[in-house]
Structure 1
């Protein structure tokens, strides 16, 4: 994988995407920029470049549209209630297939994997999603080998995570995989991410 000119990460945003699906990986990958030797650049984009309203009301103005975000090394596709509209949108699914053909790694958070499955990108592959949506993923594509134990599933060019906060774990894994464990641990320490739930 060439990183000439930098390593470009794009996080897709859309109406009713789940907030932490977007900002969890964004925080990890943006912090990676501060510690990486790969000239990492992370940006958000929507299909048309317009602002979006996320699932719980957060409004976001992305940096780019899909047409001007440029070639990516890593695409992150969040989930959330808005993923259901995308699963039924032939134009989005075709766009996703085209992007997948040009992008070395495509990653999804939570129910973003349902959209990947609807586009045919998970056929016959191991994957995961939010634990409330295993059955739905199986309905979208019965050939998907669903891992009900993993926080994330790395199948090389396609990586899927379980629900919401699991996207943070997946993003840290991707930093370790794409650069090094040392850099990933540095990012984790900078974010003081050390889960010890109080309840």
Structure 2
């Protein structure tokens, strides 16, 4: 349990703030007042420069595709995902390349569409924001789109529903990797009351 897990969070213009900030908070909160560091959390964008979130906040990623470390947990948030983003081969190839070595690849909200485009959801159960069930199926008809679930865990791939569900799924990942004691410490730090992280994602 002494190994620090590297968490890389992908950012893009139009990213939904809570989709990445929620998991970022979870993974960094696990480290606060803890006996060791559990997660090294960083952000990644396709190119260097400013990123404007869907609600207008300007952020800047720690790395871009050219210098990003290999991740243990890859987080793909959702947001204003336009057709040109879905069809961007460089993004799909980067996600697929990172996924070869991750312990867990995790999407929030309609970020699942980017996983689908990279071929990572083929034949799997997955979920997304309820507005995007049909769009996810359109990208890959082999996906079993699970409705009304906070998250779906198929092992290597974890997909969550919209926005706040990303917090539950991230807590579930903390529980999976480091166990009960660390996740209870994390929710205590966050003063978070939902128990959806431990009930297979069912609402």
**TM-score greater than 0.5 by the shorter chain:** yes
Structure 1 residues 36 and 86: alpha-carbon distance in aligned structure 2, compared to 1, 3 A threshold: farther
Q: Residue in 1 aligned with 2:28? A: 30
Separation in structure 1 between the aligned mates of residue 82 and residue 72 of structure 2, nearest angstrom: 22
> RMSD across aligned C-alpha pairs, in angstroms?
1.7
Change (3 A) 1:84 1:152: farther
What is the CA deviation profile of residues 46-102 of structure 1, one whole-angstrom value per residue up to 9, with x for unaligned ones?
122322000010111122222222111000000111364321111211121111112
Q: Structure 2 vs 1, CA of residues 50 and 147 (structure 1 numbering), >3 Å: closer, same or farther?
A: same
Contact 1:86–1:93 (8 Å) recurs in 2: no
What residue number does 1:16 align with?
14
Q: Specify whether residues 128 and 122 from structure 1 end up closer, same or farther in structure 2 by C-alpha distance, changes over 3 A only.
A: same
- Asked if the contact 1:83/1:111 (under 8 Å) is kept, the reply is no
User: 1:17, 1:83 within 8 Å by CA — same for their partners in 2?
Assistant: no
Query: Could you tell me how far apart the structure 2 residues matched to 1:88 and 1:75 are?
Result: 20
CA distance in 2, matches of 1:188, 1:125: 29
CA contact (8 A) 1:55 1:82 kept: no
Structure 1 gap segments, 5+ residues each: none
Partner of 1:118: 117
Once residues 153 and 131 of structure 2 are traced to their aligned partners in structure 1, the CA distance between those partners, rounded to angstroms, is: 20
How many pairs does the alignment contain?
Answer: 193
Distance 1:193 1:94, change over 3 A: same
Taking structure 1 as the reference length, the TM-score comes to 0.91
Where in structure 2 are there 5+ consecutive unaligned residues?
195-203
TM-score by length of 2: 0.89
Q: Deviations over 1:13-48 (max 9, x none)?
A: 110000100100000011112336464211112122
